[in-house]
Amino acid sequence: MRTNSLAVRLFLWATAWTVVILIITGIALSTLYRHAVERAFDRRLDVYLRTLVADVASPEDSGDKFPQSIGEPLFELPLSGWYWQVTRLDSKTPEVHSSRSLWDSNLPRLAADRSAAESEYRQGYARGPEDQDLRLVERSIDLGADGRYFVAVAGDASEIDEETHNFNRAIVITFTALTMALLLTTALQVRFGLAPLTRISESLAAIRSGRAERLEGEFPVEIAPLARETNALIEANREIVERARTHVGNLAHALKTPLSVIVNEAATQGSDSFAQKVLEQADIMRDQVARQLERARLAARSTRIGALVNVPPVVTALARSMEKLHREREIAIDVDVPEHAHFHGEQQDLEEMVGNLVDNGCKWARSRVAIEVLADQLAGEGEKAGVRIIVDDDGPGLSPSQREQVALRGQRLDETKPGSGLGLSIVVELARLYGGVLTLGTAPIGGLRAELALPGG
């Protein structure tokens, strides 16, 4: 498949959307999980905060109102990241009571929200002693005559980060495996889902090259109408060509009889000048009619999706036939053909072109004609396959001006040679209709070289 094929574009599109969706989903899950971890952490801090608030509000007159651990040994370890602090706000000098873990430090306070009540519960992140990230919860309580207090509890936020990091790592591993599975599934779906289109493309290429005549095989219900319509279009094209051939043949027969009558009637008048003029113009009409009918016939055949003709058997058979036809002159025909060389067109057109060239070579050769077939590429057609058929003779050859003249319809340089002078011009027009070309030059064996380049397969 080419990089700009539908399958590749679908796969890349599906891959891009899969990756984008999984990234968005991963970010959303990570965010939700972090919020869940924060809520669980805040509930844990809130338990400690409530314990401290209960201790502050208790009416005990003796003993230490502020236990150090409140159920958590980390509050006793210096700079452990777990701290609590109670500050009395209504005294001239704020009284601060804190956990042993704070050492000689104080907890920071969260930025106050002006719209919030003073006793409102607040939570957030702050930088603590030793530049630690802390998750902090705090609130103010007013005990009336017993004073106003500010209570804060902080925990090490690295636990939240660590939990989130572990979850993110699990998500990355899981989503990577999921992405690979989805991409593999998408690739298989695209490959097998578009396989019928690939088969249709290959079948159309085979039809175009002449290896097949219609789309064959079973197709899914979504593709079957396309295959049916394509086959119907190919069949309609064949019917149009056949009708055109029939019309051309009918027109040729319809014109042949009136022209023959005119010629016969004029010929009975002997040397009469008027009769001679009629004969002259009738010959011109006959030639023009033959030319135009031939062009119509060739044009109709060139629009048809042709077959792929194996060239060597055709060339070999024509060479043997020409040897028999010119047996009295003892013309030797050498044939050099590869095992496989193909012409993309109709066999009768190939026989007509090659037959004209070989017959012309035999007429002018002294003793030898050489035929060589080469399977290569057409000049200027890039990667398009082609076939070259070279016919050399050891006759007198032609000058450049004579080569241009003999390619014209009806032009003959020697009236003593049999023929109508239409052979090379027919080859030129047939080759042109197939996208090929006839080139005349000098043969290595001394005479004329006729090189015919045609589309191959």
CATH number reported for the structural domain that contains residue 313 in this entry: 3.30.565.10
Residues 239 and 142 in one domain: no
Is residue 66 domain-resident?
yes
Report residue 187 as tokens.
């690739």
3-state secondary structure of 204: helix
First to last CA, the chain: 21
**Cα gap 352→387, rounded to integer Å:** 16
Residues 158 and 21 in one domain: yes
pLDDT confidence of residue 34 = 94
pLDDT confidence of residue 166 = 95
**Cα gap 322→317, rounded to integer Å:** 9
| Whether the model pTM is above 0.75 | no
Is residue 98 domain-resident?
yes
Provide the pairing of β-strand 83-88 with 148-156: antiparallel
pLDDT confidence of residue 161 = 93
Is residue 178 domain-resident?
no
Taking the CA atoms of residue 90, residue 95, residue 97 and residue 100 in that order, the dihedral angle to the nearest 10 degrees is 160
**How far from 387 is each of 308, 331, 350, CA to CA, in Å?**
12, 26, 11
* Listed residues 302, 330, 356: the one ending a domain: 302
The number of domains in the chain is 3
Is residue 255 domain-resident?
yes
Residues 313 and 450 in one domain: yes
Residues 70 and 87 in one domain: yes
Residues 290 and 412 in one domain: no
Residues 320 and 421 in one domain: yes
Buried b (16+ CB within 10 A) or exposed e, 316-350: eebbeebbeebeeeebebebebeeebbbbbbeebb
Residues 121 and 259 in one domain: no
CB distance 452 to 354 below 8 Å: yes
pLDDT confidence of residue 417 = 45
Report residue 250 as tokens.
């009918």
Place of tokens 């016969």: 264
* Listed residues 242, 277, 302: the one ending a domain: 302
How is 134-170 classified by DSSP, letter by letter?
Answer: EEEEEEEEE-GGG-EEEEEEEEETHHHHHHHHHHHHH
CB distance 158 to 81 below 8 Å: yes
Residues 256 and 396 in one domain: no
* Listed residues 302, 326, 342: the one ending a domain: 302
Residues 73 and 120 in one domain: yes
Residues 64 and 134 in one domain: yes
Which residues form the domain of 318?
Answer: 307-455
Residues 69 and 102 in one domain: yes
> Average pLDDT of each block of 10 consecutive residues along the chain (457 residues)?
60 84 92 94 91 79 55 84 89 82 86 59 88 90 85 92 94 91 83 78 75 77 81 82 73 75 79 80 75 61 64 91 87 88 84 90 91 74 75 88 66 42 72 86 90 85
pLDDT confidence of residue 391 = 94
**Cα gap 266→20, rounded to integer Å:** 89
